[in-house]
Structure 1
Amino acid sequence: MSDVDRLFATPLAQVSDFVFDENVARVFPDMIKRSVPGYPTIVENIGVIAAHYAQPGTLIYDLGCSLGAATQSMRRHLRQEGCRILAVDNAAAMVQRCAEYLSAQDSMIEELVPATVMQADILDLDFEPCSVVVLNFTLQFIAPPQRLALLQRIRQALLPGGILILSEKFRFADDREQERLEQVHYAFKRANGYSDLEIAQKRSAIENVMLLDTPQTHLSRLEQAGFSQAYSWFQCFNFGSIVAHA
């Protein structure tokens, strides 16, 4: 069980850049649930979409897996023979807890798709041929100049008929749209018990770490990376998810 997220509940003399350390890992499920509108729907349907496109006997990647929510969802839905999932994250605290969650899932459900979690920088991975790749709120933490090259490498690794599922927080080119959706997002966080202080300090912590793109930037980059088609399948306020086909 995770703790309640109170990381930004008291005034901080200096707000440091957000890092995925043990303190964050400990409260992460609560943080995500209360911070990301539509997150349960996205995670559950990553499993549904992955199960539809996964090919028997192939590898599936969950890149930037954090605590493995997408991996757990895919394991609940996948029925293809011989698939395996590789969940990757560069944060040691996340990897450790992810492994514990996957082990607990193994003990509760029989005949799940095998899943391995490893600590690594996804920018350094040598991708093997695969049928599904998940980037669930991961690309936004990659330096913008490195995003296209990563997507190109993923595209090259995908088998014919394979897909990438890309979930992100968006910014919007239209200033009024951006402001209105941002304010509704803050209202969502307040409705989930966050104070204005917590919202402001979290925003300061993450603004230099999580660099956002517009939906159109994502779609254009995916086309540039060599994907044959990319489209949005879900949006809730300023959060959404895209499917890109090899």
Structure 2
Amino acid sequence: MHESKKDAIFAEPLTQVSDFVFDQRVVEVFPDMINRSVPGYQSILHGIGQLTQRFAQPDSTIYDLGCSLGAATLAMRQNLAGHAGVKIIAADNSAAMVERCRLHLQGYRSDTPAEVVCTDVRELAIDNASVVTMNFTLQFIPQDERQQLLQRIYSGLNPGGVLLLSEKFKSDNEQLNEVLVDLHHEFKRANGYSELEISQKRAAIENVMRVDSLTTHQQRLQDAGFKAVQVWFQCYNFAALLAVK
């Protein structure tokens, strides 16, 4: 296992803030970055494991779309003991993330096979699926392509299968959205990020991560055909949804 380094990518003033990229620099600090940036992240991973245990079907495939370093894949894999014939496919379009993800998965013994593929999740075939996880992935897909991706996931799920979707979101109410954003920034300050780091990270990510409202997410899932949609976790402007086919 590789030890995660402390995230200091945006600690020094940058003459120009480039768009955020999931490159080798980010890979080295990603666990530290995400735990200090996403409130409730470990609780979401724990819940993904619990929900996978509940909804995984025998002889089916489980997908982790946008797997990054494999945290959700590991959470799912650790809860699949006794589920016969299940395999995991984890996908990410960052070669640096995929390489490290494979090493992470090798570090844990499991009877559940897990394959890590480097591909755009929009091009990955979803088939015979019982659980599909997108843990803070959809927000990096162009907004006009999100419905189509959800439709493909729905089509590839078996009856009773589920999509586990975690996203940063914005409130429909502008005043309340400011409150949630402020609370999130306070969370990051409490975790040691400076004002400079917070503002530069925000500038780097705003062009590549477009957030929707929870209402929009729920409507998309219903439009895709999911019969039941439920928020099962929320902390500030971060939420995790469960959608059942």
What is the match of residue 93 of structure 2?
Answer: 90
- How far did residue 112 of structure 1 move? 3.3
Judge which range, 208-217 or 122-131, deviates more.
122-131
Aligned to 1:33: 35
TM-score, normalised by the number of residues in structure 1: 0.97
Q: 1:132-143 counterparts in 2 under 5 A?
A: 132-143=131-142
**Using the alignment, how far apart are the partners of 2:230 and 2:126 within structure 1?**
24
SS of residue in 1 equivalent to 2:203: helix
Residue 172 (structure 2) pairs with residue 173 (structure 1): yes
Superposition deviation, residue 185 in structure 1: 0.3
User: For 1:218, what is the secondary structure of its paired residue?
Assistant: helix
Equivalent residue number for residue 184 of structure 1:
183
Q: Contact 1:167–1:241 at 8 Å: present in 2 too?
A: yes
Give CA-to-partner distance per residue, 1:183-226, whole Å, 9 cap, x none. 01000000000000000000000001100000010000000011
3-state secondary structure, aligned to 1:77: coil
Q: Can you list the C-alpha shifts for 1:137-194, whole angstroms capped at 9, x where unaligned?
A: 0000000000000000100010011000000001111011100010010000000000
Unaligned runs of 5+ in 1: none
Q: Verify the 8 A CA contact 1:76 1:112 in the aligned structure 2.
A: no
Counterpart-to-counterpart distance in 1, 2:86 and 2:235: 31
Among candidates 104, 107, 126, match of residue 107 of structure 2: 104
**Secondary structure of 1:170's aligned partner:** strand
Aligned to 1:50: 52
> Could you tell me the TM-score, scaled by structure 2's length?
0.98
- Contact 1:89 1:95 (C-alpha < 8 Å) held by counterparts: yes
Task: Give the drift of 1:93.
Answer: 0.5
Map 1:222-233 → 2, pairs under 5 A:
222-233=221-232
2:10 maps to which of 8, 11, 14: 8
**Do 1:165 and 1:242's aligned partners in 2 also have CA atoms closer than 8 Å?**
yes
**Separation in 1 of the partners of 2:46 and 2:30?**
17
Q: Does the alignment pair 1:24 with 2:26?
A: yes
**Distance in 2 separating the partners of 1:87 and 1:39:** 19
Contact conserved, 1:46 with 1:70, CA < 8 A, in 2? yes
Rounded to whole Å, the distance in 1 between the matches of 2:111 and 2:240 is: 25
The residue number in structure 1 matching 2:62 is: 60
CA deviation vs aligned residue, 1:93-149 (integer Å, no higher than 9, x gap): 00000000000113xxxx431111010001111222210000000000000000000
Find the aligned partners of 2:124 and 2:162 in 1 and give their Cα distance. Answer: 18
What percent identity do the matched residue pairs reach? 53
1:156 counterpart residue number: 155
Paired AA for residue 127 in structure 1: I
- 2:76 maps to 74
The one-letter amino acid of 2:90's match is A
For residue 68 of structure 1, what is the amino acid of its counterpart? G
Provide the residue aligned with 1:203 in structure 2. 202
Q: Does 1:129 align with 2:131?
A: no
Contact 1:229 1:245 in 2 (8 A): yes
Q: Which amino acid aligns with 1:242?
A: L
Displacement after TM superposition at 1:65 (Å): 0.3
Moved over 3 A (4+): none
